[in-house]
Amino acid sequence: MSPLERSCLLFRSWLAVGIGVLGCGPSVGTDFSGSRPNILLLMADDLGIGDVGCYGNDTIRTPNIDRLAEEGVTLTQHLAAASVCTPSRAAFVTGRYPLRSGMVSSRGSRVLRWTGVPGGLPANETTFAKILQDQGYATGLIGKWHLGLNCKSSRDHCHHPLHHGFDYFYGMPFSMMADCADWVLSEKRAALQRTLHLCALLAACVALALTAGKHVGLLPVSWAPPLCSAVAAFSFSTTSYFLGTLIVHADCFLMRNHRITEQPMNLSRMAPLFLREVSAFVHRNKQRPFLLFVSFPHVHTPLVTTEQFLGGSVHGLYGDNVQEMDWMVGQILGALDTEGLVNNTLVYFTSDHGGSLEAHLGSHQYGGWNGIYKGGKGMAGWEGGIRVPGIFRWPGVLPAGRVVSEPTSLMDVFPTVVQLGGGQVPRDRVIDGRDLLPLLRGTAPHSGHEFLLHYCEAFLHAARWHQRDRGAVWKVHYVTPVFPADGAGACYGSVVCPCSGDGVARHDPPLLFDLSRDPSEAHALTPDTEPAFHQVMETVARAVDEHRRTLRPAPLQLDTPNNLWIPWLQPCCGPFPLCWCDREGDGDGDGQTPPDRDL
């Protein structure tokens, strides 16, 4: 048993013993499909699996997440379908590899880069929210979306959560990012400023050369070309100077349903506003089944943390932010308790992918810790980028303190909640997720995944085979990122590692690891060290071929032009470009949230 599993087993509660002794738990033959529990999905952003107490961390305090593990089921091999935000979240809400929906790129744009782009989750994709909405559930999303907003105008909202099955939305249609706070780290501001500075310099040089040439009579041109070059240089320089402010207004704002409520958002009151919205949603829907997806802005940079949590962790600002998120989890669980909904609510906690190793400056680490696992955010094959927390709690139904080491996926949440809510998993498309309930309850010995594929953008980087008869989990790496220095462990100096080009190494033969013996992927196997080497390679190759035969072409939403900022798609609560407003509390009377869209 691994240290991770031993650590989680410490959280077995007396309730599990009581249920076993008294026989008050449900029989193993009980069918829970269509039981229509409330469903509460909690997703962190960029949280490392090693940042949570029940996964082995003993220096960051996460008592509320740990309590979920104590009272529920902990998955120790829970995997994101992608190692960055947009494709991972697309896979989560659809139950499908993001390549199937086109929510990937082939040219280096790993996520949606702006709010004002036409790319996003296609209208023909079906989310778990849409199916449960059709089953009479109240459906809500509070927090981060990052799956697109508009297609042809700033108000068509074709990719909006309300067009994908959610009755109610409050949060960020884009994503939290360091640029929202004009922080020391930057996702796009710094690189764009460098480009603008270069363009301004080139334009200024052209203007000077044309002016000098005309002045000495070498260039018989009018004054128009040098003047135009000078204007261009001034424009590039001015745009660079105001770029940080422009990004904050363009991407860092809050919406309630289709209405912008705060642009730019006040980061200091983000956490209490989100908690207010969660509590209100639970209260007004307590008499009917609901699905609530709470997508935390934590623990993405710039690590916005309220004052009461600053300085509380030995791991600096990152640890403070994790501990605030854990407190928020406790407040949300408390809202269920207040409304008497604990026993009728399935609660799930996870992260969209692994912690960011590149969120590093000098001696300060602003990203997460991925425990014993190699790599991190942006690395599609290495475990640290895709292995995430996975905790389910449903009192009286799921055994308390249970630990499951089978391979599972965030995509599995789709069929699990759809069937629990009385819906049908779509049969007109490939669904890659598998129903988790039998595995969670202990009525099935294995997960539904014999093979799992690990993509980086549109490129297959690795594949996993669970050889059940032997108890082995094999991992085959076809492509891995090239680190800038031996022993670096990450692509320091960049936002994330690349998926293709000169920044990756292609392996022939592929690298092979046995995760059941080497979860850190420290020792690659060879035909000399592993007798089953060729058998494993052939078996995985056949599985990859079979998988590829199920793929159908889909427009890539993260490629240009779908991922290029377009002015007329930019949401703005005033006349563009005067995008400023603060409607929080003014229009809702005493600050109460309005009813859901369709209620």
Positions marked catalytic: 85, 146
Helix/strand/coil for 276: helix
Structure tokens at 305: 């943390």
> Nearest to residue 588, comparing CAs of 270, 277, 291?
277
∠ Cα 245 251 253 (to 5°) = 95
Residues in the chain: 599
∠ Cα 155 560 94 (to 5°) = 65
Rounded to whole angstroms, the Cα distance separating 228 from 221 reads 13
Structure tokens at 183: 């922080």
Structure tokens at 338: 């207040």
List Cβ neighbours of 324 (8 Å cut-off, separation of 6 or more). Answer: 271, 298, 305, 306, 309
Rounded to whole angstroms, the Cα distance separating 347 from 558 reads 31
Rounded to whole angstroms, the Cα distance separating 167 from 137 reads 9
Q: Are residues 278 and 332 in contact, defined by beta-carbon separation less than 8 angstroms?
A: yes
Rounded to whole angstroms, the Cα distance separating 441 from 11 reads 17
Rounded to whole angstroms, the Cα distance separating 165 from 133 reads 6
What are the φ/ψ torsions at residue 566 (nearest 5 degrees)?
A: -125, 125
Q: What is the 3-state secondary structure (H, E, C) of 187-221?
A: CCHHHHHHHHHHHHHHHHHHHHHHHHHHHHCCCCC
* Burial (0-12, 13-18, 19+ Cβ within 10 Å), 258: middle
DSSP 357: S
Specify which residues 199 forms β-bridges with. Answer: none
Rounded to whole angstroms, the Cα distance separating 268 from 448 reads 43
Structure tokens at 100: 């199937």
Whole-number Cα distances in Å, 277 to 137, 282, 336, 450: 18, 9, 13, 40
Rounded to whole angstroms, the Cα distance separating 340 from 284 reads 13
CB atoms within 10 A of CB 444: 15
Q: How far out from the chain centre does Cα 364 lie?
A: 23
